[in-house]
Structure 1
């Protein structure tokens, strides 16, 4: 079986709350994560909430990276979705974990757009 993309959902804990609450820092980390993974950045949109927290998305030619932070809990929810074989989403995810100075994280990968071979019938 082949898939169109790989989607990583990461639960990142024990992060530096000052980093998570800094829109400029979070944006820079997410953009650099995309670049380090070999992606082509297309659009960037980030928002700082009051009194705290940052949300944002980096649109890449290969799909996207998104983040939502809760500095008061030292927690970030991150997803990295890449299509094709030229970008490794784990490279981006691991970079983000490192830059957020996380104590621990868990992540799961889901294949998106799983393609069924021509000689197989899709289950309905």
Structure 2
């Protein structure tokens, strides 16, 4: 068993604010991203804030996926962490597309490594 993993951090800007306040949409979107990577969902919890905003987490057998939204700012933060060598590029692109983000900063960090690393960041947008 390897302890190495991949941690993807997404800052998504200029998103569709309607989606960012729709708890059912966000929960289904996150589940589709995890299941699309053949990940096992162990636990799911989402919370709707008043007057707006959603926070949620999927506990996965390989780690987690979390989301926090600010509809008034059209902003979403996501963390997608998985153990092993699974490539998450298609899931990241799926999440950004579903949120209708016009600009996203995607950070990739290797976890479980005992050497210095350069954190990779790329800008994605429509």
What TM bracket, shorter-length normalisation?
Answer: 0.7 to 0.9
| Unmatched runs of 5 consecutive residues or more in structure 1 | 117-124
Alignment: residue pair count: 114
Deviation at 1:95, TM superposition (A): 1.1
Residue of structure 1 in register with 2:20 after alignment? 20
Higher RCO by CA contacts (8 Å cutoff, separation 6 or greater): 1
Q: TM-score, normalised by structure 2?
A: 0.85
Q: TM-score, normalised by structure 1?
A: 0.86
Work out whether 1:96 is the aligned partner of 2:95. Answer: yes
Deviation at 1:53, TM superposition (A): 0.3
| Unmatched runs of 5 consecutive residues or more in structure 2 | 116-126
Report 1:40-119 matches (<5 A): 40-85=40-85, 87-115=86-114
Q: Secondary structure at the match of 1:65?
A: strand
Report 1:2-13 matches (<5 A): 4-13=4-13
Q: Which runs of 4+ in 1 moved over 3 A?
A: none
Name the Cα RMSD after superposition. Answer: 1.5
Q: Between Structure 1 and Structure 2, whose CA radius of gyration is higher?
A: 1
